[in-house]
Structure 1
């Protein structure tokens, strides 16, 4: 399973659910008494679940570094998603966010969620193949799409699972209640945050692509194609920095998430 830093999770999930929580309607949060957030990371979704439900919300994750941050939100437990240390029916709702896309056998995890839930299981999963980028730097959208396609080609798990989570739920023996789409927008605009400035710096140096080099080369991308992509990426990064200096750079990334809700039969 891929590992993520606390900074990465906080950046990518920043502002999630800030504009609307309508996609969470079918979780029926107001009626919940005990909720489990599996793969809670640093606790962004845990916080939302607690605020919307008033229930006891427990966070579970395999990474102790992330749990240290999540523990500030509520009670946490170190656990593997496929071997949860809870009795059957211990919760009336089990939720995960951006977890199944990183698992080799997502149905196995969902079946375990169903074991410890007396009622509902929900997954908030993105379709990373449908991410769109709009930018004032003309070269950025096509390069972002090209880099994403190369990266996804080398990833071993289904990071486009999002809209197809219904099949996973059914394979795990759940009755699917609904699937709702929620588009999470991440906007970079003046005044620029420290995270935005750092992201621009990493574009100029090509560090982001360098971090993904092994994965990209695991697909059909050759060394030469990777080098060409990184060169173009760094040139694009210089244009981003130039526009930032003029406070003219604006970038909007839209990530489609799908909230799939299933009932334990």
Structure 2
């Protein structure tokens, strides 16, 4: 399973659920007393669950560094998603966010979630193949689409799982109750924060793309194609910085997430 840094999780989850929590309504959060957030990371979703649930919310993750941060907001326990350190029926709701997309067998995780839940299991999974980007830099949208296709082609797990998580629920023996879509939008505009400036610098140096080089080359992209992409990527990054200096750079990214809820039979 891929590992994620605190910075990555902050960048990709910042502001999620701040605009609306309507897609979480099928979880019936106000009626649950014991909730487990599996693969909680830094606790971004855990905090939302704790704000909505009258009972206790516990975060669980295999990364102790991320758990230390999550533990500032909710009780946490170290554990593997496929071997949760809890007896059967410990919780009445088990939730994960952007976890199944990183697992080779999502149904195995859902089956383990169902073991420790007496009622509901829910998964909030993105469709990373349907990300939409709108940028004031003309080349950014097409280059990001090209890089995304190469990355998706090279990665071993289904990071475009999205609404197809329903199949994992059914395979694990749960009855799917509902799937709702939530579009998470991330916007960069003046005044630019430190995170936005860091992202721009990583584009201009090609550092961000370099992180994914190995994965991209696992697919159909070859070294020559990657080098061409990286050259154009760095040029695009310099255009981003130039627009930032003129305070004219604007970028919006929309990532569709799908909230699937199933009942333990």
Within 5 Å, give how 1:107-126 maps onto structure 2.
Answer: 107-126=107-126
Q: CA deviation at 1:20?
A: 0.1
> How far apart are the structure 2 equivalents of 1:53 and 1:76?
16
> How far apart are the structure 1 equivalents of 2:259 and 2:117?
17
Over the residues paired in the alignment, what is the CA RMSD in angstroms?
0.4
Matched, 1:44 2:44: yes
Structure 1, gaps ≥5 residues long: none
Within 5 Å, give how 1:93-112 maps onto structure 2.
Answer: 93-112=93-112
Corresponding residue for 1:200? Answer: 200
Count matched residues. 265
> How far apart are the structure 1 equivalents of 2:245 and 2:111?
51
Corresponding residue for 1:188? Answer: 188
> How far apart are the structure 2 equivalents of 1:54 and 1:193?
35
* TM-score normalised to structure 2 length: 0.99
> How far apart are the structure 2 equivalents of 1:23 and 1:188?
24
Deviation digits for residues 179-213 of structure 1, max 9, x if unmatched?
Answer: 00000000000000100000000000000010100
SS of residue paired to 1:198? helix
Q: CA deviation at 1:54?
A: 2.2
Corresponding residue for 2:244? Answer: 244
Corresponding residue for 2:260? Answer: 260
Structure 2, gaps ≥5 residues long: none
Within 5 Å, give how 1:199-218 maps onto structure 2.
Answer: 199-218=199-218
> How far apart are the structure 2 equivalents of 1:52 and 1:6?
24
Q: CA deviation at 1:224?
A: 0.1
Matched, 1:129 2:160: no
Corresponding residue for 1:79? Answer: 79
* TM-score normalised to structure 1 length: 0.99
Q: CA deviation at 1:221?
A: 0.4
Q: CA deviation at 1:233?
A: 0.3
> How far apart are the structure 2 equivalents of 1:148 and 1:248?
25
SS of residue paired to 1:57? strand
Q: CA deviation at 1:163?
A: 1.2
Corresponding residue for 1:3? Answer: 3
Following TM superposition, the consecutive aligned residue runs of length 4 or more in structure 1 with deviations greater than 3 angstroms are none
> How far apart are the structure 2 equivalents of 1:76 and 1:53?
16
SS of residue paired to 1:185? strand
> How far apart are the structure 1 equivalents of 2:203 and 2:8?
16
